[in-house]
Amino acid sequence: MTLSSIPLNARPALVRTACKPLGVDGFIIPRGDEYLGEYVAPCAERLAWLTGFTGSAGLAAILPVVAAVFSDGRYTVQLEEQVPHDLWERRHVALEPIGDWLAEHAKGLKVGYDPRLVSQSMLASWQTSGVELVPLSQNPIDQAWTDRPAAPASQVIPQPLEFSGESSADKRLRLGQILSRAGHDAVIIADCTSLAWLLNIRGSDVPLTPVAQGYAILHADGSAEWFVSSERLSAGVRDICGSGVTVYTPAELAQRLGALSGRTVRVDPVSTAVWFDTTLQAAGATVVDGTDPCTLPKAIKNSTEQEGARQAHAHDGVAMARFLYSLTVSGMGQYETDLVSRLDSLRARSSDYREQSFDAISAVGPNGAFPHYRAQVGHDRVLEAGSVYLIDSGGQYPFGTTDITRTLWVGDQEPPSNVREAFTRVLKGNIALSRIRFPPGTTGHRLDVLARAALWQVGMDYDHGTGHGIGSYLSVHEGPQNISPAPRPVALEAGMIVSNEPGYYEPGQYGIRIENLMLVRPSSFRGSKGAFLEFEILSYTPIDRRLIDVALLNDAELNWLNAYHAEVQMRVSPHVEPEVAEWLVEVCKPLLR
């Protein structure tokens, strides 16, 4: 990622110099932008510009003498490779929290932060005794980054009712009633995916997620104030939003917040920058913490969105079959980045394909041991016999978003028994989660162990969550639901889509992950206390039978796998070339003991 002509090693000194006239001894910079989203525009890649670290999660703290970069277990190796060791300490954000690090290194110091880039919950996690955290009106990184790219300004386009399934006016009225019942006059909508869902709009301001950056104030009567430059609005946008939406320029935001004086305003402490809190309080508004009201309705897909997800995965299943078949014909010797391009071009054979839903993870051999590895031209490996290949990718379609991972054995020789065992135990976890029925009110946290049990039996595990939510032509990582060891109070509900992606990673050798997307739906099964829920599989792509140790599968698991492969062949074969269909017959035939 080329973000600047300023040498990487020179940047920390420039930021330290910029801190001095601001009256602080250091600065904390999170990875997110003003909208606190996962994906950011090039102009907001402040963490990458300062440290060289390009992961999607992390933060850095820079003090007069020392500095550190923090991220989670997905990026441990990436931190080591990308960040200059002579300038930055590398820390695991969960095992070595920034608050502990500040307590050790910043006692008696004033450390600045940009209140437009930090949520209330994030700021609370940084607090530590003896360190004064100071909100700044100027960002020292923006001052030091003199060749910063321009802010995005893509055209805002309508998301038609045939894909959204509900008008913006109906959504706003429904959420306005929620506010009214809670005694709230208004809520700040700062999450760009919430804004896109609420107004039925899309854009291309950031890579991989089709959003238009901006903010809105939703009132309890269902009306909304939207802050966006009017010249960005394409034909039909105002019509699809409805008459209850008033457009203001971004420069008018502070003034319109001031007009909420005396009102009770909900602010999400996780998805909204603290700047909103302080601005509203200064204006005389009563600020109350509360979840973004779009979050749960956005996650619970209506029937139109559910059908869109099935349609998107149908397109994806065809592209994946063509891709996996192509590896048997002309995969050997191809670079990881070439394979990403190949898969992208195969998806693009569908006229409905828009772009990747995230940077594909194409990893040969030891590179697969990095769960969020990203191949780069000139530094990537080639596909070679006797290795494990992991491909994790997804697509954006106007009716849905996809995400799928397959792990393959390359070459004609038999895979080692230890690799087959690891793969089969990951598969057992995937199947266990796929087959489970559960009562309403069950959280993803309670299901996570199903995906790990077979690995735990032999002392294996993986350092990432098992499942995340997925948007409808929006973010590939969407809350509030998840499946993870970390407890979340949000129960899985019918209409939610989650990933199912257990894995195992052997450093220096290989990585294994098997991922399908699943839709939560009502089950025909009824328990003693009523209805249950279950999962509908959305992803249909063969699982590499050469890596499966059938002896480790019980009868129910083997029957599930054979039925899944029969479904793959039935769904995909009619839409691919004869040679691909013939290949599907072979790779989808039943496994026998």
Over residues 491-525, the pLDDT tens digits come to 999 999 999 999 999 999 999 999 999 999 999 99
CATH number of the domain enclosing 274: 3.40.350.10
Task: Judge whether 340 lies within some domain.
Answer: yes
Torsion-angle region of 166 (φ positive above 0: left; ψ -120 to 50: alpha; else: beta): beta
* Average model confidence (pLDDT) across the chain: 96
Question: Quick one: which H or E segment has residue 428?
Answer: helix 417-435
Considering the domain architecture, whether residues 430 and 343 belong to the same structural domain is answered as: yes
> Is 133 exposed, middle or buried, given 0-12, 13-18 or 19+ CB atoms closer than 10 A?
middle
Considering the domain architecture, whether residues 304 and 211 belong to the same structural domain is answered as: no
Task: Judge whether 579 lies within some domain.
Answer: yes
Instruction: Classify strands 286-289 and 264-267 as parallel, antiparallel or unpaired.
Output: parallel
- Cα–Cα separations (whole angstroms), residue 80 to 51, 142, 436: 11, 25, 39
- Which of 111, 144, 177 represents a domain boundary (last residue)? 144
Considering the domain architecture, whether residues 432 and 495 belong to the same structural domain is answered as: yes
Considering the domain architecture, whether residues 404 and 540 belong to the same structural domain is answered as: yes
When pLDDT is cut at 50, 70 and 90, the band that residue 593 belongs to is confident
Considering the domain architecture, whether residues 436 and 519 belong to the same structural domain is answered as: yes
* Per-range mean pLDDT, top range of 26-40, 230-244, 317-331: 317-331
Task: Judge whether 149 lies within some domain.
Answer: no
Q: Considering only CA atoms, which of 337, 340, 356, 442 is closest in space to residue 395?
A: 356
Lowest average pLDDT, out of 44-58, 72-86, 413-427, 520-534, goes to 72-86
Number of other residues whose CB lies within 10 A of the CB of residue 449: 15
- Which residues, 6 or more positions from 412, have their beta carbon under 8 angstroms from its beta carbon? 385
Task: Judge whether 471 lies within some domain.
Answer: yes
- Which of 256, 273, 298 represents a domain boundary (last residue)? 298
- Which residues, 6 or more positions from 336, have their beta carbon under 8 angstroms from its beta carbon? 362, 363, 364, 367, 375, 380, 381, 382, 383
CA distance 192 to 197: 9
Q: Which two tokens stand for residue 208?
A: 């991989």
Task: Judge whether 519 lies within some domain.
Answer: yes
CA distance 145 to 14: 8
CA distance 96 to 72: 10
583: amino acid identity, one letter: W
pLDDT in tens, 439-484: 999 999 999 999 999 999 999 999 999 999 999 999 999 999 999 9
What was the pLDDT predicted at 473?
98
Question: Strand, helix or coil at 528?
Answer: coil
Residue 361: CA atoms inside 13 Å, Cβ hemisphere, count? 24
Q: Across residues 338-354, what is the average pLDDT?
A: 98
pLDDT in tens, 100-127: 999 999 999 999 999 999 999 999 999 9
Considering the domain architecture, whether residues 73 and 131 belong to the same structural domain is answered as: yes
Considering the domain architecture, whether residues 111 and 236 belong to the same structural domain is answered as: no
Task: Judge whether 1 lies within some domain.
Answer: no
Question: Strand, helix or coil at 410?
Answer: strand
Question: Strand, helix or coil at 48?
Answer: helix
- C-alpha dihedral over 85, 86, 88, 94, to 10 degrees? 40
Tell me which DSSP letter residue 75 carries: G
On the question of pLDDT at 74 being above 90, the answer is no
Q: Say whether the peptide bond before residue 480 is cis (omega within 30 degrees of 0).
A: yes
What was the pLDDT predicted at 55?
87
CB 542 within 8 A of CB 587: yes
- Which of 99, 116, 144 represents a domain boundary (last residue)? 144
pLDDT in tens, 85-98: 999 999 998 889 99
When pLDDT is cut at 50, 70 and 90, the band that residue 77 belongs to is confident
Tokens 């995969």 appear where? 331
Q: Across residues 402-420, what is the average pLDDT?
A: 97
Considering the domain architecture, whether residues 92 and 216 belong to the same structural domain is answered as: no
When pLDDT is cut at 50, 70 and 90, the band that residue 415 belongs to is very high
Considering the domain architecture, whether residues 540 and 477 belong to the same structural domain is answered as: yes
When pLDDT is cut at 50, 70 and 90, the band that residue 1 belongs to is low
CA distance 107 to 255: 38
152: amino acid identity, one letter: P
Considering the domain architecture, whether residues 96 and 118 belong to the same structural domain is answered as: yes
When pLDDT is cut at 50, 70 and 90, the band that residue 528 belongs to is confident
Number of other residues whose CB lies within 10 A of the CB of residue 593: 7
Q: Across residues 567-581, what is the average pLDDT?
A: 98
CA distance 423 to 518: 20
pLDDT in tens, 258-293: 999 999 999 999 999 999 999 999 999 999 999 999
pLDDT in tens, 203-222: 999 999 999 999 999 999 99
Question: Quick one: which H or E segment has residue 62?
Answer: strand 59-62
CATH number of the domain enclosing 573: 3.90.230.10
CB 401 within 8 A of CB 353: no
CB 467 within 8 A of CB 483: yes
Q: Across residues 233-246, what is the average pLDDT?
A: 92
Torsion-angle region of 83 (φ positive above 0: left; ψ -120 to 50: alpha; else: beta): beta
Task: Judge whether 210 lies within some domain.
Answer: yes
Task: Judge whether 151 lies within some domain.
Answer: no
Q: Which two tokens stand for residue 105?
A: 């290194």
CA distance 431 to 535: 11
Question: Strand, helix or coil at 283?
Answer: helix
Q: Across residues 290-313, what is the average pLDDT?
A: 98
Q: Which domain holds residue 483?
A: 300-587
| Number of domains comprising the chain | 3
Considering the domain architecture, whether residues 99 and 113 belong to the same structural domain is answered as: yes
Reduced 3-state DSSP string for 94-161: CCCCHHHHHHHHCCCCEEEECCCCCEHHHHHHHCCCCCEEEECCCCHHHHHCCCCCCCCCCCEEECCH
Considering the domain architecture, whether residues 276 and 380 belong to the same structural domain is answered as: no
